[in-house]
Structure 1
Amino acid sequence: MQLYNTLSAEERAQLIEQAGEKRLTLSFYAYAKIENPEQFRNDLFIAWNALGALGRTYIAHEGINAQMSVPAENFDAFRDTLEVYDFMKGIRLNVAVEQDDLSFLKLTVKVRNKIVADGLDDATFDVTNKGIHLGAKDFNELLNDPDVVLVDFRNHYESEVGHFKGAITPDVDTFRESLPIINEQLQKHKEDKKLVMYCTGGIRCEKASAYFKHQGFKNVYQLEGGIIEYTRQVKAEGLESKFIGKNFVFDHRLGERITDDIIANCHQCGKPCDTHVNCANEGCHLLFIQCDECHEAMHGCCSNECVDIIQLPIEEQRRLRKGEQKGNLIFKKGKSENLKFKKERNVFEEIVPVKVAKVTEIRKKKAERKIYVAQGEHYFTKASVAQFIIENKELNIGDQIVIQGPTTGEERMTLTAMKVNGQNVEKAVVGDKVTFEVPFRIRLSDKLFTIVKND
Structure 2
Amino acid sequence: MQLYNTLSAEERAELIDQAGKQRLTLSFYAYAKIENPQQFRNELFLAWDKLDALGRIYVAHEGINAQMSVPADNFEAFRETLEVYDFMKGIRLNVAVEQDDHSFLKLTIKVRHKIVADGLNDETFDVTNKGIHLKAKEFNQILEDPNTIVVDFRNHYESEIGHFKGAITPDVETFRESLPIINDQLQNHKEDKNLVMYCTGGIRCEKASAYFKHQGFKNVYQLEGGIIQYAKQIKEEGLESKFIGKNFVFDNRLGERITEDIVSQCHQCGKPCDNHTNCANDGCHLLFIQCDECKAAMENCCSTECLETTHLPLAEQVKLRKGKQVGNKVFRKGKSENLKFKHSGDSRTMLEQAKQLTDVALDVVPKVKPIRERVKVKKVLIGKAEHYFVKAQVGQFLIENNELKIGDKIIISGPTTGNEELILEKMLVNGKEIEVAKQGDKVTFEVPFRIRLSDRLFKIISK
**TM-score, with length taken from structure 2:** 0.82
The 5 Å alignment of 1:75-154 reads 75-154=75-154
SS where residue 81 of structure 2 aligns? helix
Residues in 2 aligned to 1:18 and 1:364: alpha-carbon distance in whole angstroms: 20
The 5 Å alignment of 1:231-246 reads 231-246=231-246
> What 5-or-longer segments of structure 1 have no aligned partner?
387-400, 415-438
Q: Which residue of 2 aligns with 1:349?
A: 355
| Residue of 346, 349, 372 corresponding to 1:365 | 372
CA 1:202–1:379: 2 relative to 1, 3 Å: closer
CA contact (8 A) 1:60 1:115 kept: yes
Q: CA deviation at 1:42?
A: 0.1
The 5 Å alignment of 1:415-454 reads 441=436, 443=438
> What 5-or-longer segments of structure 2 have no aligned partner?
383-399, 414-418, 425-433, 441-456
Residues in 2 aligned to 1:131 and 1:267: alpha-carbon distance in whole angstroms: 37
The 5 Å alignment of 1:280-299 reads 280-299=280-299
Residues in 2 aligned to 1:374 and 1:305: alpha-carbon distance in whole angstroms: 34
CA 1:38–1:192: 2 relative to 1, 3 Å: same
Residues in 2 aligned to 1:380 and 1:338: alpha-carbon distance in whole angstroms: 43
Instruction: Show CA shifts across 1:215-244 (max 9, x none).
Output: 000010000000001000011111111100
Residues in 2 aligned to 1:235 and 1:60: alpha-carbon distance in whole angstroms: 34
Instruction: Show CA shifts across 1:288-320 (max 9, x none).
Output: 111111111111111111111111122322232
CA contact (8 A) 2:82 2:89 kept: yes
Residues in 2 aligned to 1:150 and 1:380: alpha-carbon distance in whole angstroms: 59
Q: CA deviation at 1:360?
A: 8.4
CA contact (8 A) 1:54 1:105 kept: yes
Q: CA deviation at 1:440?
A: 5.0
Instruction: Show CA shifts across 1:339-394 (max 9, x none).
Output: 12221345322513223253687x9212434545799998799xx999xxxxxxxx
The 5 Å alignment of 1:12-411 reads 12-329=12-329, 332-344=332-344, 345=346, 346=348, 347-350=353-356, 351=358, 352-358=360-366, 364-371=371-378, 402=410
Letter in 1 for 2:98: E
Letter in 2 for 1:150: V
CA contact (8 A) 1:148 1:193 kept: yes
Q: CA deviation at 1:412?
A: 5.6
Instruction: Show CA shifts across 1:119-142 (max 9, x none).
Output: 000000000000000111111111
Q: CA deviation at 1:7?
A: 1.5
CA 1:252–1:374: 2 relative to 1, 3 Å: closer
Q: CA deviation at 1:278?
A: 0.6
Letter in 2 for 1:145: D
Query: RMSD of the alignment, in Å?
Result: 2.9
SS where residue 436 of structure 2 aligns? coil
Residues in 2 aligned to 1:330 and 1:167: alpha-carbon distance in whole angstroms: 30
CA contact (8 A) 1:368 1:451 kept: no
**TM-score, with length taken from structure 1:** 0.83
CA contact (8 A) 2:302 2:339 kept: yes
Instruction: Show CA shifts across 1:398-429 (max 9, x none).
Output: xxx75899xxx997669xxxxxxxxxxxxxxx
Residues in 2 aligned to 1:158 and 1:447: alpha-carbon distance in whole angstroms: 35
Residues in 2 aligned to 1:116 and 1:325: alpha-carbon distance in whole angstroms: 23
Residues in 2 aligned to 1:154 and 1:380: alpha-carbon distance in whole angstroms: 49
CA 1:306–1:359: 2 relative to 1, 3 Å: farther
Residues in 1 aligned to 2:330 and 2:167: alpha-carbon distance in whole angstroms: 25
SS where residue 354 of structure 2 aligns? coil
Letter in 2 for 1:188: N
Letter in 2 for 1:298: M
Percent identity at matched positions? 69
CA 1:102–1:334: 2 relative to 1, 3 Å: closer
CA 1:367–1:125: 2 relative to 1, 3 Å: same
CA contact (8 A) 2:263 2:272 kept: yes
Q: CA deviation at 1:20?
A: 1.9
CA contact (8 A) 2:404 2:438 kept: no
Q: CA deviation at 1:328?
A: 3.5
CA 1:252–1:385: 2 relative to 1, 3 Å: closer
Residues in 1 aligned to 2:141 and 2:363: alpha-carbon distance in whole angstroms: 25
Residues in 2 aligned to 1:369 and 1:72: alpha-carbon distance in whole angstroms: 19
Q: CA deviation at 1:182?
A: 0.6
Q: CA deviation at 1:58?
A: 0.2
Residues in 2 aligned to 1:167 and 1:2: alpha-carbon distance in whole angstroms: 46
Once structures 1 and 2 are overlaid, which stretch shifts more, 64-73 or 5-14? Answer: 5-14
CA 1:313–1:379: 2 relative to 1, 3 Å: closer
Residues in 2 aligned to 1:142 and 1:236: alpha-carbon distance in whole angstroms: 20
SS where residue 26 of structure 1 aligns? strand
CA 1:380–1:225: 2 relative to 1, 3 Å: closer
Q: Rg bigger for which structure?
A: 1
Residues in 2 aligned to 1:29 and 1:380: alpha-carbon distance in whole angstroms: 48
CA contact (8 A) 1:334 1:343 kept: no
Residues in 2 aligned to 1:447 and 1:336: alpha-carbon distance in whole angstroms: 37
